[in-house]
Every structure is written in structure tokens, then in C-alpha cells.
Structure 1
Amino acid sequence: MIEASSAGRHRFPARLLHWAVALVLPIQFLLGWLSEGVPGQQAGFFLLRLHYQLGMLLVLLMVLRLAWCLARGTRGVRVGASAWHRRLVVCVHGALYALMFLLPISGYVIWVWMQAPMDVFGWFDLPRVFVAPADDETGRALAWYLHIGCGWILIGLTLGHVVAAIWHPKARGSGLRGRPAP
């Protein structure tokens, strides 16, 4: 739901940000999955650290996407879409955006709790905005469950989004590039 150019396509910055996020997401899912099951603590931490760093990169991409959306406006659902379809599109996109911010925030909390290095690819260090209590793991456990739960929800919504993007143009007789429906 990013603004469309006069030709009906999403503008280049919107497409670039969309596909950058789309490229990083499966890598993130894979890194998160593998870091839990890879043999060896050192290998698992390497994958987890890369997962953290890419997660922080995703926050930046999502902030840029949100800024673009707020500055340029959003393109609504196609003319003629039913009320339930419009509500579903708004809810799914809202949930995708919310999850894309909740996941890195919960990951950040976990990372701070682990007292892990806060650098992002050696470019800069993120500040630790809180100090985790040494004798209480409750916050870390809550953040971990939130992170895992939101991750699975994001996988489901992302797959639904992909299916809808493929199916919708065929069902409506229009192309994938945002051409108007007949």
C-alpha cells in the first residue's frame, strides 16, 4: 500500500525498500532457525549475532518505508473492492508493519539481556537503553516468547501476502505491476 506513480506502478524508492525487506526476511527466518539448532555454541552465536545485526538493518529499512509512506501517502485498495477486502488489506498491512517493528524490539531486549556486543556490522554500536537484572530472567523470557510468536505470525502473514499478490491480479484480470483492474 505505497503510493503509485502516474503509470500505476509503485514508485522506485517504495519498490526498492519493499524488495530489500523481502530479501532480508527469509534470511532472517533461516538464521533464527539455524542458530537454535546448529551444533556448537560458537557457531550458534555467530548465526544469532548475524540475525541480530540484520534485524537492526531491518528496523532501518522499516523506518525508511514508514517515512516514505507517511510523506507520500498510501495507495488504497483497488476501486470496486468489497468492504471486507479493504478491511482485510488494511489489517494485514498494519499487522505486517507492527510485527516488523515488534520483532527487532524484542530481539534487541533479548540481546541486551544476553550482554552481547551491540555493534551492527562494525558500523556503529547501539546503546543499551536498560540494564538487565542479573538475578531475574523474566523479561528475557517474555521477550523471547514474544519474538518467537511474532516470528511465526510474520511467516504466516508473509506467505498470505505473497499468495494474495500472486492470486489477486489473476482473479481481477490485472497485472502484478499495479495496473488498474478492468
Structure 2
Amino acid sequence: MIAIRNTTRFWGAGAQLLHWLMAAGIATSMVLGWVMVNMPAGSAQFRLYALHKSLGITLLALVALRLVWRWINVTPPLPDSLPRHERWLAKAGHRALYALMLLMPLSGYVINSAANFPLNVFGLVQIPNLTPASESLGDLASNLHLAFFWGFVAVLTAHIGGALRHHFVLRDNILRRMLPVRHASDDRSRS
């Protein structure tokens, strides 16, 4: 049975749920973003933009919730066997992921606000604009949004590569402790 809260050895069900919901939401939003900017203008593109924006605002709320969850829960430490530079890289990578998970949707929100478009989240709630209409601000936010996207792709690639390295090469519990399935060996291992 997986505990709701984190322990010193494993991420709890709450952290895992937020992690994997965000992973699915971010992947979906990134694909939608890529498709929508490369398709002809029209009603299909408009619907994809609306879905992309709704997902972005939802992900912004989820990352805020995730930061609160992380603040009120213990964080399972990295294994003592991990070299100092790898510990530093892991911490820097996680900080970069969190920063980009905030900056991507915020810059998208600014793009939308600067264009003076309504922001209707999944047709349920209208979100007020964050900024006044401004073409120059919209252009700046658009350039930043794209830069944050590519930065996120780079950091995410390193994050996934690191997790797979831990699982298949180092054979430690780093990846398994974020998975909702436990193995008997997890209870015996301290890493």
C-alpha cells in the first residue's frame, strides 16, 4: 500500500499523482502547441488554441499545488552513493523544471492577455486578463514562451535520461520511488 504523503524513502501517492498528471498534461500541451502553430488558420486551430490555453492554466494551478505539497511534505533524499556533482545536477534540474513549469504557462497567459483575447478555461470559467493589450508585450512574451519551451525540452530530456540511467544502469530505486507500483526489493533497499 502506498502512503498518501511522502516518506524518507518514497514519494507518496499525492506527489506521484501530481507528477504523472502534470507529465501527461505537459506532454499533451506541448504536442497541441506544436500542432496548432503549424496548421492552417480556422476553427480547428482555434479549438486547439483554446484547449492549449485551458491546459496551460490548469498546469499552472497544478504546479502551484505541487509546490505547496512539496513544501509540506518530506522530500526523499538522493542516495548517499550519488556523487556530489550528480546531486547538484539533480537539484539544479528539478529547480529548472519547476521554474519552467511556472514560466511557460505564465508567458502564455501574458501572450493571451496582451492580445486582449478572452481566456475561458474548458468553457467553465473566464479568467481575467493579466496585462493590458500590448503588441510589443505580446511579442516579447511569445518569444519567451518559445524559449521556455525549448529550455523545458532540454531539461526534461536530461530528467528522463537521468531517471532511466538510475533504473537501467545504476539499478537503484530513484525511478521506482516515483512509480505507483512497489516491488519486494524496494522494501529491502535503502537507495
TM-score, normalized by length of structure 1? Answer: 0.89
- The farther-off stretch of 114-123 and 169-178 is 169-178
* 1:177 corresponds to: 176
Query: Take 2:141 and 2:20, find their aligned partners in 1: how far apart are those partners?
Result: 28
1:174 offset after TM fit, Å? 2.2
- Compute the displacement of 1:94 (Å): 0.2
- Measure how far apart 1:87 and its partner are: 0.7
**Larger RCO (CA under 8 A, 6+ residues apart):** 1
Specify the alignment match of 1:61 in structure 2: 62
**Are positions 1:138 and 2:136 aligned together?**
yes
RMSD, aligned CA: 1.7
Give 5+ residue unaligned stretches, structure 1. Answer: none
In 2, the alpha carbon distance for the partners of 1:41 and 1:138 equals 25
Q: CA deviation at 1:181?
A: 5.5
How far off its partner does 1:37 sit? 1.2
Residue matched to 2:101? 100
* Alpha carbons 1:4, 1:75 under 8 Å: kept: yes
* Contact 1:173-1:181 at 8 Å conserved across structures: no
Match of 2:176, SS?
A: coil
Residues 76-114 of structure 1, C-alpha deviation per residue, up to 9 Å, x if partnerless? 321121111111011000000000000011000001122
1:75-154 pair list within 5 angstroms = 75-133=76-134, 137-154=135-152
Q: Could you tell which deviates more after superposition, 45-54 or 74-83?
A: 74-83
SS at match of 1:119: strand
Of all paired residues, the percent bearing the same amino acid is 32
* Whole-angstrom distance in 1 between the partners of 2:10 and 2:76: 10
**Which one is further off, 108-117 or 17-26?**
108-117
Could you tell me which runs of 5 or more consecutive residues in structure 2 were left unpaired when the two chains were aligned: 178-185
- Does the aligned pair in 2 maintain the 1:37–1:44 contact within 8 Å? no
Q: State the partner residue of 1:32.
A: 33
- For these two proteins, the number of residue pairs brought into alignment is 176
Q: Which residue does 2:74 correspond to in 1?
A: 73
Q: 1:107-148: CA deviations, max 9, x gaps?
A: 000011222222111222212232124xxx211111001000
